[in-house]
Amino acid sequence: MGDVYVVLLEPKISGNIGAVARSMANFGFSNLVLVTPKCDVDDEARNRAKHAQKILNKAKIFKSADKIFSKFDTIIGTTGITGTDFNLIRSPLLMGDVAFKILSAKGSVALLFGPEDTGLSNEQLKNCDFVLSIPTHKDYPVMNLSHAVTVLLYELFRHESAQILRDKHKQSAPREKEVLFGVVDDLINQTNFKTEDERTTQKLIWKRFVGKAMLTRRETFGLIGFLKKLVKK
Amino acid sequence: MGDVYVVLLEPKISGNIGAVARSMANFGFSNLVLVTPKCDVDDEARNRAKHAQKILNKAKIFKSADKIFSKFDTIIGTTGITGTDFNLIRSPLLMGDVAFKILSAKGSVALLFGPEDTGLSNEQLKNCDFVLSIPTHKDYPVMNLSHAVTVLLYELFRHESAQILRDKHKQSAPREKEVLFGVVDDLINQTNFKTEDERTTQKLIWKRFVGKAMLTRRETFGLIGFLKKLVKK
């Protein structure tokens, strides 16, 4: 992934800046840029940022909006107001479609968010490499600024790092499941089923039960221990 | 999808309640439940909810936490603090894995969120059908309440309704792309390429160019018009 920048154009509500910083820390991003902000990074921003003060401390402030479109290798505009497919400016890509595109970009990638009340203008969107939108309900499509940032960073993070959490909660290995199914078989064979068919059905039920539950090692070991006790009885 | 309830247990910050309501409206959800809230639905909540006042108006307030675990057909606990795979209580499923599970549930499904400062306790998580977590960075895993709600509802909504936005921005149909490639072929054939190989390569480049761009009908028509002009020259 290139260097991702969260770029807020003329933010007006300092609490949003803090909330954005917190969300960035939650998903491992650190480059925040404020372009001609209409509010200060005040106590409210500090309070909402919680443990992400560092991101506020090193936030860059651009005093002019003139050069933002030439500062980054790729600049991605965001909008909650999409047009139809005959509107060239507001024909967005959807976040789910585009996460891998962003993750595979080189150089600097700016995610550009407009002011809370108006969003990015057509003129600003035109200058972006492409436009991105989060699918929302037609009755109220416009999201809170920090909520929109959160969803976008979540999408980028989860594609990269869902693996981290998966590594932490290891699924049971095939060998471990084999042991479990062995004990289940013993138990089924000891049980008073009338036909081989009934036993086969039971085995399939357990196969699916274990398979769909996607047990962790801990859960598998626990189950094996329990079923072994039943077999002994 | 069953009826999805967003259930906030003992929320303390009224602004969060409003922000949650707004996010619910953004993604088309409307059932909000506050269990023994520690704050009022005050001006700050109203202000943050913006155009989602209706959700605050019809929010249900439970005056006791006793019966929440028996009120819903399925209750899903959420946590930012996950254990390892040897921790039975805090072994979460990840949102991406489980969206379809929630969407295919019948009856009432509660997404349960704990208080802002402590989250759900082990005792509360034990009583949930399963536990859900959003993958976050290890240095700062705990999200703002309304941000966490936003990501979960976004995941549910996008699986159901990304189609809506796609319908609004129709991709060009195969027939339309055929016309485009026909004009491109004419143009390539008129151009001074030395070998058939060079022409074949150019055609493939255009095939991929158009394919990866996933053009809308509008963009396709525009391109066809332009290239036809070049062919005439």
State which residue of chain A sits closest to B169, comparing Cα positions: A85
Q: Residue B138 and residue A164: Cβ atoms within 8 Å?
A: yes
Instruction: Tell me, yes or no, if A28 comes closer than 8 A to chain B by beta carbon.
Output: yes
Which two tokens mark B71? 């009120």
CATH class of B3-168: alpha beta
From B61's Cα to the closest Cα of chain A, the distance in A is: 24
Instruction: Tell me, yes or no, if A92 comes closer than 8 A to chain B by beta carbon.
Output: yes
Assess whether pLDDT exceeds 70 at residue B45.
Answer: yes
Place B143 in a pLDDT band, splitting at 50, 70 and 90: very high
φ, ψ dihedrals at B111, nearest 5°: -100, 110
Nearest CA-CA partner of B141 in A168, A151, A22, A216:
A22
Residue range B38-52: mean pLDDT, rounded: 96
Interface of B with A in 107-166 (CB under 8 A): 133-144, 146-147, 150-151, 154, 157-158, 161-162, 164-166
Report pLDDT for B179. Answer: 94
Assess whether pLDDT exceeds 60 at residue B165.
Answer: no
Q: With beta carbons under 8 A apart, name residues in chain A contacting B147.
A: 19, 22-23, 26, 146-147, 150
State which residue of chain A sits closest to B160, comparing Cα positions: A135
d(CA A79, CA B226): 28
Residue range A137-141: mean pLDDT, rounded: 87
pLDDT (tens digit per residue) in A45-100:
999 999 999 999 999 999 998 888 888 888 888 888 777 666 777 777 766 667 77
d(CA A54, CA B83): 26
Q: With beta carbons under 8 A apart, name residues in chain B contacting A50.
A: 144
How many other CB atoms are there within 10 angstroms of residue A50's CB atom?
Answer: 17
Q: Residue A216 and residue B23: Cβ atoms within 8 Å?
A: no
Q: Residue A137 and residue B87: Cβ atoms within 8 Å?
A: no
Q: Residue A169 and residue B82: Cβ atoms within 8 Å?
A: yes
Report pLDDT for B213. Answer: 73
Assess whether pLDDT exceeds 80 at residue A213.
Answer: no
The answer to whether A72 and A109 are in contact (CB under 8 A) is: yes
Instruction: Tell me, yes or no, if A46 comes closer than 8 A to chain B by beta carbon.
Output: no
Residue % of chain A over a pLDDT of 70:
90
What pTM did the predictor assign?
A: 0.74
d(CA B9, CA B12): 9
Q: Residue B222 and residue A52: Cβ atoms within 8 Å?
A: no
Instruction: Tell me, yes or no, if B192 comes closer than 8 A to chain A by beta carbon.
Output: no
Assess whether pLDDT exceeds 70 at residue B97.
Answer: no
